[in-house]
Amino acid sequence: MGNAELVAMMLADGRLPTGGHTQSGGLEPAVRAGLGADGKQLADVAAYARDRLRTTTRVEAAVAVLTRHIATSSHLSGTKLSPGDENVPKNGPRLSERAATLGPVEAAWAARTPSHVVRGVSRRQGRLLLRLARRVWPDVSAYLPNDGEIARPVVLGVVGAVTGLSAEQVARTIAYDDAQTVISASLKLLPVDPADAATWLAGLHDDIEWLVKDVAPLTRIDEIPADGAPLIDVFAHNHAIERMRLFHA
Amino acid sequence: MPETRSFRLGVAGPVGTGKSSLIATVCRELAGELRLGVITNDIYTDEDARLLRSAGVLDPERIRAVETGACPHTAIRDDVTPNLIAVEDLERDFAPLDVVLVESGGDNLTATFSPALVDAQIFVLDVAGGGDVARKGGPGIARADLLIVNKTDLAPYVGVDVEQMVKDAEHARDGKPVIALSRTDPASVALLTEWVRSMAHAVRAGDHTPVDPGPMAPHSHVGEDGELITHTHAHTH
Ligand SMILES: Nc1nc2c(ncn2[C@@H]2O[C@H](COP(=O)(O)OP(=O)(O)OP(=O)(O)O)[C@@H](O)[C@H]2O)c(=O)[nH]1
Ligand SMILES: [Mg+2]
């Protein structure tokens, strides 16, 4: 188990090879729909990132927090798996039983993520994170299969559980990552000065911490908020059939 | 090698040098004898995939596009995960495949594939980019498994001496193969397809170890004519 603070930094670092460079957090279709007014209203980018922190990202962060809570409190994370025998722990429940404890939280996430396109994107990104995590933090294999399309916040919550991240660190990682995804994609999509982009991100710190404060204490699945942003879903659906795109989503 | 694991062949090189055309040629020539799949990494996602699908040389479903977020270099080198998953899914959906060709988005001379993504790679230059390019070197030119000097049919129009360009390339490559290619020259196309065929065979037999062209630092030395030459290549001297 590494130093939790450093693990959180790794997870928040866009250079972690988990396909982050393919994502714009929905900014690309939003720009196509007029956000930023062709470069004349660049502050729209920060407002868009903030809107996500108050809606969809809040749900994602809460799901990650709940996943971490369930995985941690099932008192299984200390069970060491023997090499080459990864799916059958010497003691404690089998992988399928452990994975089953996470089923309800994935289902709660799916119920709060009405767009199948958005669900598909999150599960694809979850798969990318899972593939890396099983190499870097092999203990995730106690909860998750080696490969599979699993909502990204669920995968991240499991990584948090096995590396000793706090609920706050897990929530902050999700929130920061989402905001940074949007802000850094703006550099490719709009005539943005990179120093302005960093300033926008710093300006979102209070929003990120409010989110953290709200979702970190959650311990029951039915407490997961159900905030949505229907326009973001509509943009995502437009993007899925768009031919000329830079970003996957 | 598991039954479903194909020979993964990367195709890189600067914009417009003929990567998609080369893949189309390989598909046209070899689709009868090898089971093929293609992954493209275009800047605007769908372009290369569409071009290849419309070429009609392969079942369109076996050609898939992966978004790179305008980072073609990252997609084949620093973070290959999205491409790797695309390759594996293609291998799974059309199992067993013999060869999966991965086209890099057109980038610059420094972009080469990570050995975590491909077993071997082709680097494509063209005569229209100028006769000097091969001499400039770079990891792809110096150390890709195969270097293509493409569009030799255009050489007379752009004032390039193909023979010299190939000689420069061979010098920079320390004996690794160079093929002067034109899609209008069947003999050169045969050399290309024979290389793919034998490499597929070597990989399948376990006789090939992926080589990382790597981001080698360029270095300088004084050539025979006293001229300062700066380039990158594999051998020591
Ligand atoms: N004359 C000639 N033209 C060629 C040859 N091969 C390709 N071309 C042309 O070169 C142009 C670029 O070819 P592509 O295959 O699209 O090149 P690419 O490297 O895939 O391009 P990007 O993916 O945009 O980087 C097209 O107009 C091709 O028709 C050749 O052997 N001879
Ligand atoms: Mg191309």
**Which residue has the CA at smallest separation from atom 6 of ligand 1?**
B18
Best substitution site from B11, B15, B20, B123 to test ligand 1's pocket, by max atoms within 8 Å of Cβ?
A: B20
Atom of ligand 1 nearest to the CA of B42: 23
| Domain span at A167 | 4-12+24-32+41-240
**What pLDDT is recorded for position B1?**
57
* CATH number of the domain within which B23 lies: 3.40.50.300
- B175 domain residue, yes or no: yes
Q: Domain of B99?
A: 7-231
Q: Residue B234: what pLDDT?
A: 42
Do the domain assignments include residue B1?
Answer: no
Q: The domain spanning residue A211 has which CATH number?
A: 1.10.4190
Instruction: Give the model's pLDDT for residue A94.
Output: 63
In a domain, A19, yes or no: no
User: Per the domain annotation, does A247 fall within a domain?
Assistant: no
What does the pLDDT look like over B20-76, one tens digit per residue? Answer: 999 999 999 999 999 999 999 987 767 788 888 888 889 999 999 999 988 889 999
Report the number of distinct structural domains present in chain A.
1
**pLDDT attached to residue A113:** 98
**Partner-chain contact B69 A244, CB within 8 Å:** no
Parallel, antiparallel or unpaired: strands B120-126 and B146-150: parallel
Q: Atom 2 in ligand 1: which residue has the minimum CA distance?
A: B151
- CA–CA separation, A106 vs A195, rounded Å? 37
C-beta of residue A157 within 8 angstroms of C-beta of residue A68? yes
Cβ contacts (< 8 Å) between A245 and chain B: which residues? 44-46, 67
Is A245 within the bounds of a domain?
A: no
Q: Nearest CA of chain B to the CA of A66: how many Å?
A: 27
pLDDT recorded at residue B160: 95
Low-confidence ranges of chain A (pLDDT < 70): 1-2, 75-97, 99
Measured in angstroms, how far is the CA atom of residue B20 from the centroid of ligand 2? 4
Answer whether residue A65 is part of any domain. yes
Cβ contact (<8 Å) for A185 and B79?
no
Q: Are A132 and A114 in contact (CB under 8 A)?
A: no
Query: pLDDT, tens digit, for every residue of B186-215?
Result: 999 999 999 999 999 999 888 888 888 876
Number of domains present in the structure of chain B? 1
